[in-house]
Structure 1
Amino acid sequence: MMKSQVALLYVLIIMSKGSAQSMKPRRSVFFSDVNLKLFKEPDFDGLSSVLVREDIGQLFIGARGKIITLSLDDITKKTKEINWIVTSKEKALCQMKGKSIEVCDNYITLMHTLNDGRILVCGTKAFDPTCTHLMFEEGNVTMEDSFENGRGKVPFDPNENFASLVNGNTLYTAGTINFLGTVKSFQRHGRNSLMTEQIWSWLKGPNMISMKFAEISKHSYNNEDDSVFLFLTEIGIENQRNHLRLSRVARVCKSDMGGLRTLQRKWTSFLKAYLDCPFGDEGSTSLVQDVFFLQDEKNVSDSIFYATFTLSPKPSSTCSQSAVCAYKLSDIQQVFRGNFMTETDSGPWVRFTGSYTSPYPRTCINDEMRAKGVRTSRDVLDSDLMFVKNHPLMEQVVTPITGKPLLVGSAAQFSRIVVDKVTSLDGQQHNVMFISNNSGWVQKAVWSGDDGGRIIEELQLSQDPQPIHFLQLSSRSGQLYSTTRTAVVQLSVRDCSRYRSCADCLIARDPYCGWDRLTGLCAAAAGASNLSMIQNLIDGDVGTCPSSHCNFSHSVKADYRHPAHT
């Protein structure tokens, strides 16, 4: 693999069988040249959650001791600030328990929209997690004056990773549930609360990454129940001697009610599988960092999970790499319908070769099971639930749709990813990936089965090298929101102004952009027609450009820079 010698050098590599070919972003744009909007205030820090509300045009930002709302159209316009701080007594008690003054504050780490339009908000509250609700009425955001215990919903420590989602009014979380941070669980909260069994074969030293909901029933021929997927890393149980950390995808069924006697108030549908993203040196393992779920509205099984990975290298390795892998939902479902692993007396897990005929939990409850009297998980036999309890691991590996990464990066590590589905002038759909790294840059890339991947451009969204913690996309308005711990950035994904000539516009093969014949400018292609606009995403042929716009200007050539110079 090619290894960068410059700290900020950011090179993407397209993997080929047995080797990797270097591929630089076509254009690198520095912070001062990016057309962006920036929100930053002197006392604004500890940014720890973000929520996009397109229905009311607001961006909610959770930070240390406060919640701020910004206009989605222009984040420089602050529309509301709500302080939610800890008392001096609460802070002193937290410090008496051995915690630092910095973490003994209230970090707003969870915000989700409920069915009634309210927003569930939870904060760490000086190591005493607490939740309440925000309401948006007549253009004004207010906080309810009633509070509830948030333990188990968000971690006590604001620096701990956790995952969460809301489906309807039901909250799912995965993270630490005790003060010491020693117990972690994947839970469903509310009237029919469930959690994982506290045994190491279910979760062993997990680091929760992301949670996604898949409406399987919407397109299922047999009305199979919906699924919740959890992406995490954990210490592998396959071989207990090497303590190797692996990437996993786990699945539970939405309508799981726990067992009647066995697995009471526990998941009866919890299964997990090894999530593979093959790259790097032999002996290195790839660890999932973030996941974006791009749903297919016509057939949910064709939906794709896009995930960023970094390497967990061998101690002797000097390799620092990241990758993007993509997984089809139907492929993940197939793995969970496969064979189980079982623990041997000597420790390692091997393929289960015994007899197990029940379809549950290989699939969530469907019409065939209902016809046989299994309408809920409480109708499943105790013997089957005991098997589920002792066999959470699947034999098959979840592999990416290409068998390899879409992109591999060297040096600055990938962090967050969002994906936008863009329709070009010819009616074709293109999935555009925005991939952030730990140095404040975002890559804009496209991958297709026909011509592999290409990196259209990279943008510096943070003036100083620092990790990007959140990426949020508003597809409706075409705005991308990026955050560090101290600032929020907004930019239009449809900004085509950086392409200064027709040739530059077409060669970029940017699905968002085309050359406007009438204005003589590169402009957003959305809503335009082939009569008024030129676009060629296949090979970037400039032959259709007006002769007066074919040549590259000096200013365009100057844009072909890289963020670091040798």
Structure 2
Amino acid sequence: ALANISTLLVNEETNTLFVGGRDVVFALDLNNISREIARVNERFFSPIPSLKKKYFACGFLQCQNYILCLHKINASYLYVCGTNAYHPTCDYMVISLQGRAEESRGKCPFEPTQKYASVFVAGEFYSATSNNFLGTEPIILRSMRNPVRTEFKTSWLNEPSFVSMEIVQESESNPNGDDDKIYVVFTETAVEFEFYDKLLVSRIARVCRGDLGGKRVLQRRWTSFLKSRLSCSIPELNFHFNIVQDIFLLRKRRWQDSIFYGIFSQLDISAVCAYSMKTIQEVFSKGSYKGPVTVQHSPVKWMVYRGEVPVPRPGACIDNSARSMGYNTSTDLPDKVLQFVRDHPLMDDSVNPIGDSPVLLRRGSNYTRIVVDRVTGLDRQTYDVMFLGTDDGYLHKALNCDGEMFIVEELQLFLAPEPVQSLQLSSEKVELPSLHVERGCCNSLGLALPWCSPELLPKSSSQSPL
């Protein structure tokens, strides 16, 4: 039985679904996932006996090896990380492991309930997790080649709950010679607002792939770490969704056209907001900075920085403009630039969604996971189709019809209610309907809908108003 599943990875080149669980990795046939091709539960997946005994004696019960990270390196190799009885360990895997298990603090969580995110890019492993057992040292780390990490400062990361990590190849066809970016989405406790209670806010942060750290200031630290608030609200009601649950990057041919789709929750309402890469890029490349200011007889206040910003722009990647000034790598940057970005990692501007409002609102359904696919209809128009998992085991399929978003299908995935914890979209295997719009009707080939026009949509299937 596939018990205690933690992560999934689709490899369409080999028609394989890899499943990471407790002390084991399964390889399943993507054409028939009930058929097991192979499993790996060798010594790497069995925690060291001395560690297991130690943590049992201390009262920690989750001392197995929960496989949390599965990343494809190439057609033959995977990179696998597990908790390993509170001693995070990573290794390389084909179908059997390579026997190069390595210390992986900062790469993988210490226990399976900690939130984390990771991505493997051209021999570089990027991770967002905790660097210590207590979870008090949050870290965004690049390991393997040219290790670089975030500072252990609350102004950089303050009790974050990591959600997702994605690479955007912004160097492609870029006239400015810019670098690729790693984007990280998370929720953290805000430092810039004054409240009696902790206020959680959603963030999107980014670093440059070519970042090598500073020479004197920020040695082996990110010189390009910047973050901004990820806003999702209903402006007319002044109602804000503060907690991001999941994020999906819908990649398009031009990276500038790609869209981040995010699930947010507040009270019993779920919202989906969409963000254009162009907007995100402009906030980081053109926006103002925010920083702490000491005020007499008052705690530190965070205010927009109005002073002179050093050159080259703090937090920017090395591009043609920086190279023209003699700065070929981040180690060449002036100390004043590095000191500025060290003290001002937060942008003043928020990243606002497309249309300044959610594309979908739903009351009573708490969404947990989202994937999005782009399909071409019979009218040769393209449509973004969202698949949304709920906390009670349902899958909703939503699409935009004549400017309105509708849930056109609802599937019960599990017999007993339980949260959808992972969704993987196979672009080759999944069968999606061909859609076209005709006189206000959503028609489908391959999916018989019990309705045609929006007026006939049952309330349980349409977008629920507030």
Q: Same fold (TM over 0.5)?
A: yes
Q: Residue 68 of structure 2 corresponds to which residue in structure 1?
A: 109
Contact 1:219 1:300 in 2 (8 A): no
Q: Residue 129 of structure 1 corresponds to which residue in structure 2?
A: 88
Contact 2:262 2:370 in 1 (8 A): yes
Contact 2:312 2:337 in 1 (8 A): no
Note the alpha carbon deviations across 1:434-478, whole angstroms, 9 max, x for none.
011101111101136x51212111111111111011000011222
Q: Residue 322 of structure 1 corresponds to which residue in structure 2?
A: 270
Local SS of the residue matching 1:105: coil
Deviation at 1:509, TM superposition (A): 2.1
Q: Residue 401 of structure 1 corresponds to which residue in structure 2?
A: 354
Local SS of the residue matching 1:327: strand
Please, which runs of 5 or more residues in structure 1 have no aligned partner? 1-40, 136-140, 312-318, 479-491, 497-502, 515-521, 525-534, 542-556
In the TM superposition, what are the counterparts of 1:167-178 in structure 2 within 5 Å?
167-178=121-132
Q: Distance in 1 between matches of 2:126 and 2:60?
A: 28
Structure showing greater Rg = 1
Q: Distance in 2 between matches of 1:477 and 1:494?
A: 13
Contact 2:13 2:75 in 1 (8 A): no
Matching of residue 472 in structure 1 with residue 421 in structure 2: no
Q: Residue 193 of structure 2 corresponds to which residue in structure 1?
A: 239
Q: Residue 350 of structure 1 corresponds to which residue in structure 2?
A: 303
Deviation at 1:240, TM superposition (A): 4.3
Local SS of the residue matching 1:509: strand
Deviation at 1:284, TM superposition (A): 5.2
Q: Residue 304 of structure 1 corresponds to which residue in structure 2?
A: 259
Q: Distance in 1 between matches of 2:343 and 2:416?
A: 49
Deviation at 1:88, TM superposition (A): 4.4
Q: Residue 509 of structure 1 corresponds to which residue in structure 2?
A: 442
Contact 1:206 1:232 in 2 (8 A): yes
Deviation at 1:427, TM superposition (A): 1.7
Q: Residue 28 of structure 1 corresponds to which residue in structure 2?
A: none
Note the alpha carbon deviations across 1:5-32, whole angstroms, 9 max, x for none.
xxxxxxxxxxxxxxxxxxxxxxxxxxxx
Contact 1:245 1:285 in 2 (8 A): no
Q: Residue 461 of structure 1 corresponds to which residue in structure 2?
A: 413
Contact 2:10 2:16 in 1 (8 A): yes
Q: Point out the more displaced range, 339-348 or 398-407.
A: 339-348
Note the alpha carbon deviations across 1:227-285, whole angstroms, 9 max, x for none.
11100111111124442110000011110000011000000000011110004975754
Local SS of the residue matching 1:471: coil
Contact 1:456 1:508 in 2 (8 A): no
Contact 2:123 2:145 in 1 (8 A): no
Deviation at 1:379, TM superposition (A): 1.2
Q: Residue 286 of structure 1 corresponds to which residue in structure 2?
A: 242
Deviation at 1:425, TM superposition (A): 1.8
Contact 1:277 1:400 in 2 (8 A): yes
Q: Residue 99 of structure 1 corresponds to which residue in structure 2?
A: 60
Q: Distance in 2 between matches of 1:236 and 1:216?
A: 29
In the TM superposition, what are the counterparts of 1:199-210 in structure 2 within 5 Å?
199-210=153-164
Q: Which amino acid aligns with 2:59?
A: G
Question: How many correspondences in the alignment?
Answer: 448
Please, which runs of 5 or more residues in structure 2 have no aligned partner? 462-466
Deviation at 1:369, TM superposition (A): 1.5
Structure 2-normalised TM-score?
A: 0.90
> Which residue of 210, 214, 222 maps to 1:259?
214
Q: Distance in 1 between matches of 2:263 and 2:194?
A: 26
Note the alpha carbon deviations across 1:32-60, whole angstroms, 9 max, x for none.
xxxxxxxxx2xx31111111000111000
Distance 1:425 1:493, change over 3 A: closer
In the TM superposition, what are the counterparts of 1:47-446 in structure 2 within 5 Å?
47-83=5-41, 84-86=45-47, 88-100=49-61, 103-115=62-74, 117-135=76-94, 141-242=95-196, 243-279=198-234, 282=238, 285-297=241-253, 299-311=254-266, 319-336=267-284, 337-346=286-295, 347-361=300-314, 363-446=316-399
Deviation at 1:494, TM superposition (A): 4.5
Local SS of the residue matching 2:347: coil
Local SS of the residue matching 2:106: coil
Local SS of the residue matching 2:52: helix
Q: Distance in 2 between matches of 1:62 and 1:422?
A: 30
Q: Residue 30 of structure 1 corresponds to which residue in structure 2?
A: none
Local SS of the residue matching 2:53: helix
Q: Distance in 2 between matches of 1:255 and 1:87?
A: 37
Deviation at 1:561, TM superposition (A): 10
Contact 2:314 2:338 in 1 (8 A): no
Distance 1:421 1:246, change over 3 A: same
Q: Residue 464 of structure 2 corresponds to which residue in structure 1?
A: none
Q: Which amino acid aligns with 2:35?
A: K
Q: Distance in 1 between matches of 2:316 and 2:145?
A: 24
Contact 2:6 2:21 in 1 (8 A): yes
| RMSD of aligned alpha carbons | 2.7
Contact 1:279 1:286 in 2 (8 A): no
Local SS of the residue matching 1:203: coil
Q: Which amino acid aligns with 2:321?
A: E
Structure 1-normalised TM-score?
A: 0.75
Q: Distance in 2 between matches of 1:249 and 1:216?
A: 16
